[in-house]
Amino acid sequence: MSDDDKFELIHGSGNVFRDFGCPKADLEQARATLAAEIIRTLDERKLSVREAEKLTGVSHSEFSRIRNARLGRFTLDRMITILGKLDEEVEVNVTFRHRPHVPKDNLQAV
């Protein structure tokens, strides 16, 4: 590896949406976490989206949206309800932490 090929490793915050400046980063992270759990449950139980629809009453197109990470139309409570209909127990913990103020002139456009 030459000196020109060196790169800097930067550790993320644990929330990729925040790292890329998404304005609703925490919400998007929560949606992604719930979606991953729904997908894990479907895969673990070997359920197709049609079988999941029959089991839960949730449209197969909604499960397809979740599988394809098109989560914009889902609220957190809707996703938690879907997990409940898949017989998964959901526990939600909310933590509040003070975030340092970032001056507006230091914000980057996304």
For the domain that residue 21 is a member of, what is the CATH number?
1.10.260
Return all residues near 79 (Cβ < 8 A) that are at least 6 apart. Answer: 31, 34, 35, 38, 66
- Residue 9: per-residue pLDDT: 83
- Residue 96: per-residue pLDDT: 85
31 within a domain of the structure (yes/no): yes
Return all residues near 25 (Cβ < 8 A) that are at least 6 apart. Answer: 15, 17, 18
| Count of structural domains, the chain | 1
pTM of the model: 0.78
What are 14-64's pLDDT values in tens digits? 889 988 999 999 999 999 999 999 999 999 999 999 999 999 999 999 999
Structural domain of 72: 16-91+101-106
96 within a domain of the structure (yes/no): no
What are 56-99's pLDDT values in tens digits? 999 999 999 999 999 999 999 999 999 999 999 988 888 888 87
Q: Yes or no: say if 53 and 60 are a contact pair by the CB < 8 Å rule.
A: yes
7 within a domain of the structure (yes/no): no
